[in-house]
Every structure is written in structure tokens, then in C-alpha cells.
Structure 1
Amino acid sequence: MRLHIWGGTVPSSSEKLRLEIMHLVEGMTRLRHDGRYDEPNLDGTAGDYISFDSWEWPQGVGLYGLVRLWQHTGDDSLRHTVEDWYERRLSAGLPPMNVNTTAPMLALSLLWRETRDTRWEAPLSAWADRMMQKMPRTPEGGFQHNVSDRINDDELWDDTLFMAALFLASYGQTAGRRDCVDEAVRQFLVHTRYLGDPHTGLWFHGWTFEGRHNFARALWARGNAWITVGILDLIELAEIDAPVRDFLLGVFEAQVEALLKLQAPSGAWHTLLDDPQSYEEMSATAGFGYGLMKAARLGIGPKQCASAGQRALAAVRANIGSQGFLGNVSYGTRMGHDLQFYRDIPIQPTGYGQALAILCLTEGMIHADQIEEAA
């Protein structure tokens, strides 16, 4: 819907969001590594967690945002962007498998679900088989959070569920591989046991079986956002047995109850959720905004989800710069052994920041579309 004023037009709320989303897409595809925070991989190659044209977890999250946007809009230019990316990267050869290098497989599984393009079937199947058979595990069968530049013996991180478990759920559902879906569910249950804080309803960043503790007991915002997004998307991507689905939605609702109390007046959340002296962080805010608005649309969670999600959406939009980059995004965050570590994480535009903003604004656009259709 457009409002006609003095012979001209005023873009509707939905159209404004669509333009901002495409600005974010352009920003993400322009991201290039600038030499900062360069951490070599275990094989000695240079790590690249910023450039769009690299196979790592930030790019994987970015591609997920693009595929989700394509699913909603039907814009074939987005599909071509994603397909071209995968063609280039698969031709160049895949990196060694770990939790973070699994992240790009999630968007590819959704692309295959929608198109059934035979180009994608073999790499998806091979990667899933290797995960099921060879992914290093902690006691009780959790995926050990190994990454490209570090082995994290006997450690569980909340990032793992989004980066690895969602792929198994999505691929398993599409391929008729119930073993993969069940493994994804198992990972959510094991991680809930060790990372969910029963006192607050929030999640700790990590757990180690060596010494059996939660490191700094950091209630880290982006880690919690992976959970907010991950639980809702898990139950959307795969058929989950009712008792487990209800359990995980209870975990989600407990987290949301805590998040609603911690939202800053700006609509954002702090990078340490319970520390108002830590900076307001936009990738987490975008993830929470997406999850809260989606929960409201699905009729899940407290009634305040809708308004809190809209405030988060406004905060995210206020932090999109003229070049299409989401500002105030904290760089990739290792496991901290004290809380100051999280307060000191530098700010850097990233693919995951762009993607979480795209998800947030897309959910906002769905909401605006519904209002305009009803008007």
C-alpha cells in the first residue's frame, strides 16, 4: 500500500523495510577482509571471518539470511547470488569440517529443499554423513565446539546449535533422514542441560567437562540470540516430536521472560545481558528482534513479544549506516574466562551482523505486510 500525497507517493512501511533490507544485502556482499583480527587456521592458512566470498561461519549465517529473504520475497536475484556463491566455493574445494565450517551448509540445505537442484545433493549428503560419523564429541554426545583455528576439548558452546545442529535438522527433514533430525534434537537437549541457567532462564556461553563449569558464567547476548533464533527455526525446519517440541518451547519462553526485563530503553540489549555497563550490541538485538516478532506471529510466548520485537527492530534500523553495514556489531567471540573479556570485544561489520539484521527486518516486513493487507 502507498499513500498518495500532493500527487506523489509515500512508501509504505513494508516498502521502506524492503529498501533497507536490500541496502543490507548490498553491504554484506561488499564485505572484504581488511587485515584486522586475522587469526590463522589450524592448517596455517589465513582466517577470513569478514569477506563475503569465504567459507566460514559468518558467511554461513549471511547466506542463511539471504535464503530466508529469497523464500519470503521470491526475488530470483537473491537466489542467483546464493547459487553463484556455492558454485564458486564448491569448485574451490571445501575446508576441513568443524562446527563453524558447517554453518554454510544450512543455507545450502534450504536452497536444495526449495529447488531440488542436483548440484547440491552430493555435498550435503557427504557433509551430513561425516558429521554423524566423525564430528568430535564431548561426554554425553554433544558436538565438541572445534573451530578452524582451535580445538576446544570437551567444550560445549551455545553457538553450536545454530552453526551445526540446525543444518542436520534441515537437511534431515528434506532428505528423509530421521537419524539427522534426531541428532539435531539430541544436540539441543544436551546443550540445554549444560548451558541453560535455571536461575535466570538465560544461557551461558559455554561449558567444559574438564572441571565441569561454565567458564566466566557469561550471559553473552549473541550466544543467547543464537538460542532464540535456533529454537524457533528448529521447530520450523523439521518435524519434532511433541514432548521435545513442548520442552524446547518452554525453554524458549523462559529465556524470553528474562530478555523482556533486560531490554534497554533504546530497544537494544547489552553484550552482557545483565551488565548495563557493557555496550549495546546490534547483532544480538537483531536476533532477539527476529525471534520475538516471529514468536508473536506464531502465538508463542508472552504478549509483550510483539512490542519488544518492534522496539528491537527500531534499534537495528537506527544502526544501519549509509554504506549498508549494521553498526555496533561485536566481532567473533571466543570463550571468555572473565566478564571483562566480553566488554572488550571490538566492533566490526560482519556477515552475521548483516544476516541477523536481514532476518529481523524481514520479520518486520512480514508484520507490516499483514497490517497493510488488513487495512
Structure 2
Amino acid sequence: MPNNSSALQTSAAINEAVQTLRDGGLVAFPTETVYGLGADARNASAIQKIFKAKGRPSNHPVIVHLAVPDKYDVAQIDWAALLSPWVRDLSEEALQIINAFWPGPLTLVFKRDKSVLNEITGGQDTVAIRAPNHPIAQELLRKFKGGVVAPSANRFGKVSPTSAADVRDEFENELDLMILDGGDCEVGIESTIIDLSSGERAVLLRPGAITPSEIFAKTGIKVYQAGEDVKADNDFPRVSGSLKAHYAPTTPLRLYAPGRVLDALSEYPDTKSRVAVVVWDSESSLVLEDHPSIDVQEMIVSSDSADFAAKLYRTLRDLDQQGWDLILFPEPPNGEEWDGVRDRLQRACFGSGPSSSSHVNN
């Protein structure tokens, strides 16, 4: 009965992880988006360990992850009761969005309860919360019986991990870290973040797999873009992944416009000779005879937005480890379903290159 034995092993590992969190330690665990580096959200010194391990600026807020109650036989989960230790002013609109999308890859920003630690909020009066939709994450959170903060389990500003092996690559020499292995992440990019803290309008702060039109279709609630006639940009809460340079490989990364690979190659003459060119599976092979001096290798990626997102960080990590002088990615097409990966790629380009750590710190 291999399945039962692996379930028992997982259960034992989760019990050990719960104890590690209670003891103030760190646990890396899978979610449907990326792997998180988790700590007890009520333990300030444990949270500080995350910031130290990642090299993350202390004013950069982290997301609190909560369990969905085990009993699905109730007509509706009492989210108001579950959120009351963390949040004040929970609106009807917020509950509508929560009931439609939690658990799932959606983070919501609220006015914080006074008991929420400053280490979580970056000193702001808001807190970001989500309920992840991954069986291991959910079992861990249910058994822990509390909130767990968990930014992505990687060095700050670098490519996020979508497998347990990625987490080991990031930290194996420096952290005595417990890692729960839940296979590859299904969604592959971080959660959508919606700000509900003003009590007036829902505002998109970070695009992801769940789009504003999907939220509107399921709830009738309009989600505004930041800067869409709402309030000055600097009035929005700071949230994870909102810095200009983020998700970045060490190899220089650039985007090329449709059909403009050759132009992109000529545009970066300083980049030696080995170039990895990522192309859509729907496009024919490149014609690169014009560049005989360049060693170019094509890598095919899916032109389906969800599939592309699921493999984006895996592709970036693999290419980054192969020693190319330049990585060229196609610009994602227009359309809301591509906004999440476009956001990640633009930040990755800005932060990429050997000096990326200095970009990230700016």
C-alpha cells in the first residue's frame, strides 16, 4: 500500500513542521502559487529570521496564510470569525470575494487589527491575508492552528521557487531548514493582490492568476487598477512583489516584440555570444543565419497563459543555471490573463544581470 505509507510519511512530516513553527523555526512549504518560507505569524523573532534568511528589507510586508476550516458540511464558512484576530472593518464586499475565491491564489489587504505585529505589515496599518489552496499547506495550517507568514522561499528579489529542489538550491548551505515537498506548484506565479483597506473600492495591487474580470463575473464587484482615478499611487499599501526589480535571474534578461528576435540580438551587442531565445510553441523556428557569430539556442514555451505561468520560474531558473550571456523572452500578448506573467517578466528584466543585487536594494 504505497499510497498509505506516503500519506503517513507526509502526515509525520507535517506534524514535525508544526512543532518547528511552534518552536520559532522556519518551514518551507508548497502552495499552489510558489513555495513559501513560513514562520509563526505571532512570533516576532521567528519572522525576523525570514527577513534575515532572504535578505529582505524589514519594511517590506509579508502575507499571513490562514487555514480553511476542515468541515465543509457547513453552508458557509464563518470567515468573519476566522479573520477577526487579524482584521478590522470586514465589509460585505470582502466576504463576497472571500466566499467566491478562498482557498485560492488571491491575497486581500485589510485594515489590520491592533494585535498584528509590525514585522508583518512593514509598519503600515494594513495586513495582507490569503488562504492557500494546496492540501499540504492547508493541513499544515489546520494542525498549526494559527496564522503563518510565508513570503517566497528564495533570496529577496530572485526567481521564486516552484519545487522543493529550488528551495534546497537557495538555502541548503546556510539554513537548517525543514522543507515539505509537495511537488511542482500548479499556478507558478504569486497570488493576485487586491486592496480592500480603503473600505470604498477594491484595487488591484499585483496581477496574478485570478483576474479583475473573473472577480466581477463571480461577485459583481468591480476591481479598479491602481491609479485608475482612485487616489495617488503613494497612498496604496506596500505589498509583496511590488518593487521595480524582482523575480530576477543573474543572467541579463530582455523581452522582444513579436517577430523582432533579430532586432533584439542586434540591440545588445555587448552580450558576448551565447544567447537563449525563448519562442512560442505556435511560432515557426527562428532564422538566425544573419548572426553566425552568435550561439543561439531556442527554447519552446506554451502560448497558453496558464501553462506559461506554471512553467515561467522553472524556465527562468533552468536558463539562469546554463551559463548564457543573454536570455530573450517574447513579450506576452495583450489581455488580462497575461497581466500576471507580464508583470513578473518586466520586474525580472529590470532586476536581471550580474549586478542584480544592487538593483534589488534600490
What TM-score results when the alignment is normalised by the length of structure 1?
Answer: 0.25
Structure 1 or 2, whichever has the larger Rg, is 2
Query: Which structure is higher in helix share?
Result: 1
* Higher strand proportion (structure 1 or 2): 2
Q: What's the TM-score once normalised by structure 2's chain length? A: 0.25
